Amino acid sequence: MGEISQFRPGEKAPNNGIYIEIGETGSSVKDPQQIELHAGEHFPETSNKDRVWKNKRNINRPSTQ
């Protein structure tokens, strides 16, 4: 089974890293918040209840054609 990759406010960060706010379905967000957390720190509130946190290094950016 895979590792959880989306986190809600109040949950603990599994790893050190920069986390970015995304839409709950993985959609992009205009001017997303970015935070740096260390493993075990709690995620802060998002700008909108329908958003979650995701590690920035795990975000797949669509290629532009």
Q: What is the 3-state secondary structure (H, E, C) of the chain?
A: CCCCCEECCCCECCCCEEEEEEECCCCCCCCCCEEEECCCCECCCCCCCCEEEEEHHHCCCCCCC
The pLDDT of residue 9 is: 96
Prediction pTM value:
0.79
Which residue ranges make up each domain of the chain?
A: 6-57
* pLDDT one-digit tens code per residue, 2-59: 667 899 999 999 999 999 999 877 777 888 899 999 999 999 999 988 899 999 988 7
